[in-house]
């Protein structure tokens, strides 16, 4: 372990003690090593004594710096693993850190693009527009075209810090997973999920590719606009994108002041979500309010603007069908069908008791049976479903976590914009149409047409295959030994070879034992030779 790692480990241990984070666990479930270490640090002061354990965890992560702040933000979306009070506290973490110096930003841009900033851009603003843990943003104009842009620059020196912190998180996760109580939280999988996410954010070429794909998917749309990426400036450490002047989606006063149709805006958020998931199978998975703006043009027909496309989600075709069935079963308030879908997906441990699982799901659904859909949060219901399934061995896939998080954002945002939003009336027709296209007669016919070239190629072989199988079947019925004889002979040969293999092993082991037990070594040599002869015989028998 390096000196830097030791220093960071000490800082983490001191922070755990300072904020009394062991209080988050019941006394009988606290790891003995952690308790012992906490007692050793008795001489260090404690703080935040009046705060709840959940808030102390939030303050602790905040004090550990940007990497842990982002980890806490990610944890806040894992409501299938964490209680609500803990998730709510972590959701308050703000990813805002002091900006790094403008000369460092300029040096990084010039190193990435291979030219002085003054040759590429005019009006470069040394004061950043925004600063976060991984990158910060400056404004400028492209010298050739005069287009206003924002330049996103990865923070210097952040990568080794992230790798060091990830290594420590992994070690802690493995220690937690060693206990039966900790294993239920799947800490190793959670840290691995975070590792993939944050390392992807370090590569701005990925974000540029994601933004270009989302922009192409919504080309000409009146619901979502993704700013243009200037690909000629794309680099791992630098991304240049069109500057936008939308209204932050959380600025309700500004939206109302310009006469924005809030009902249409809220409904379009739902449409955008379901379109990305079920039409495109490529969805912006970080659509928190800070990344969403509303165009100032046509307030009566409002359009969203999405930025920061570093995190995206995709579902497998099977997961997409399963999620569509879950949505539709919920829209129809068919809770028995919902339980069946969860059981058939394979998401739950195969050894789980299906009757107990169905009973647990019904406990989730029963309070909802007499409620109108407009009063039910589907995002929260999905969290409750995943929590219940987690008790029966389900490990939620990272893409389903992203889907759950995005749905919670969209649902909460839609009802903030327009409290009377009926999410289900907006989404149900879209889903029914998708289900009809993907699982109805037309979809089956389309799959047959798509497979037609393959079957046309194989068609000439079918008569010979049919004749060979009929001949084999007739022979098997009239003279089964003729068909099975090669298989029987093969099994006999394998059996004989295994006998010689075991005999050879026993002889060689016996020879090694006799080496120290007798005066002369010749009995040992003889046994060893006999053993090797048995092994050669085994090899000769196995060889066809």
- Locate the DSSP E strands across 161-250: 224-225, 238-242, 247-248
Sign of CA dihedral 353, 355, 356, 361: positive
d(CA 222, CA 389): 38
- What is the widest separation between alpha-carbon atoms in the chain? 104
CB 463 within 8 A of CB 310: no
- Locate the DSSP E strands across 224-315: 224-225, 238-242, 247-248, 283-284, 292-294, 304-306, 312-313
| Locus of tokens 């409750």 | 384
d(CA 163, CA 257): 46
Angle in degrees, CA 393, 394, 397, rounded to 5: 150
CB 69 within 8 A of CB 133: yes
| Structure tokens, 134 | 């991984």
* Residue among 286, 308, 322, 384 flagged as catalytic: 286
Q: Report helix, strand or coil for 13.
A: helix
d(CA 521, CA 513): 11
d(CA 302, CA 254): 13
User: Does 286 qualify as catalytic in the annotation?
Assistant: yes
The residue among 429, 412, 415 whose CA lies nearest residue 262 is 415
CB 45 within 8 A of CB 353: no
Residues taking part in catalysis: 286
């Amino acid at each position: 372990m390096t000196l830097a790692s030791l220093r960071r480990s000490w800082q983490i241990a001191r922070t755990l003690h300072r904020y009394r984070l062991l209080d988050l666990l019941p006394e009988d479930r606290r790891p003995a090593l952690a308790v012992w270490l906490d007692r050793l640090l008795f001489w260090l002061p404690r703080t935040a004594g009046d705060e709840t354990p959940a808030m102390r965890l939030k303050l602790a992560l905040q004090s550990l710096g940007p990497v842990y702040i982002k980890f806490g933000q990610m944890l806040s979306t894992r409501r299938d693993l964490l209680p609500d009070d803990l998730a709510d506290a972590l959701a308050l973490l703000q990813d805002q850190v002091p900006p790094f110096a403008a000369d460092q930003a300029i040096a990084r841009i010039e190193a990435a693009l291979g030219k002085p900033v003054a040759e590429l851009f005019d009006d470069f603003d040394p004061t950043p527009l925004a600063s976060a843990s991984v990158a910060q943003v400056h404004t400028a104009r492209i010298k050739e075209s005069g287009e206003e842009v924002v330049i996103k620059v990865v923070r210097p020196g952040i990568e080794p810090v992230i790798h060091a912190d990830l290594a420590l998180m992994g070690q802690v996760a493995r220690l937690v997973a060693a206990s039966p109580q900790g294993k239920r939280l799947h800490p190793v999988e959670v840290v691995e999920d975070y590792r993939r996410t944050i390392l992807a954010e370090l590569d701005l070429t990925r974000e540029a590719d994601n933004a270009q794909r989302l922009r192409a998917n919504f080309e000409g749309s009146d619901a979502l606009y993704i700013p243009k990426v200037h690909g000629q400036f794309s680099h791992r450490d630098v991304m240049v994108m069109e500057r936008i002047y939308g209204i932050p989606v959380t600025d309700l006063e500004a939206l109302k002041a310009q006469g924005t149709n809030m009902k249409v805006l809220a409904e379009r958020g739902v449409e955008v979500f379901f379109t990305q998931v079920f039409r495109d199978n490529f969805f912006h998975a970080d659509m928190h309010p800070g990344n969403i703006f509303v165009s100032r043009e046509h307030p009566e027909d409002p359009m969203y603007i999405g930025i920061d496309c570093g995190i995206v989600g995709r579902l497998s075709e099977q997961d997409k069908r399963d999620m569509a069935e879950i949505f539709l079963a919920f829209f129809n308030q068919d809770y028995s069908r919902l339980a069946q879908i969860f059981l058939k997906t394979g998401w739950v441990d195969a050894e789980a008791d299906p009757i107990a699982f169905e009973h647990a799901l019904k406990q989730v659904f029963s309070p909802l049976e007499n409620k109108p859909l407009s009063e039910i949060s589907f995002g929260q219901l999905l969290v409750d479903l995943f929590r219940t399934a987690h008790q029966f061995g389900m490990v939620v896939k990272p893409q389903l976590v992203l889907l759950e998080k995005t749905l919670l954002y969209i649902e909460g945002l839609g009802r903030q914009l327009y409290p009377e939003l009926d999410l289900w009336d907006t989404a149900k027709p879209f889903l029914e149409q998708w289900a009809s296209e993907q699982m109805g007669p037309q979809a089956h016919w389309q799959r047959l047409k798509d497979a037609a070239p393959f079957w046309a190629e194989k068609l000439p072989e079918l008569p010979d295959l049919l004749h060979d199988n009929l001949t084999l079947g007739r022979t098997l019925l009239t003279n089964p030994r003729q068909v099975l004889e090669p298989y029987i002979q093969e099994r006999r040969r394998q059996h004989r070879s295994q006998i010689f293999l075991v005999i050879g092993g026993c002889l060689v082991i016996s020879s090694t034992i006799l080496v120290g037990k007798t005066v002369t070594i010749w009995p040992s040599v003889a046994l060893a030779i006999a053993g090797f002869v048995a092994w050669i015989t085994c090899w000769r028998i196995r060889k066809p």
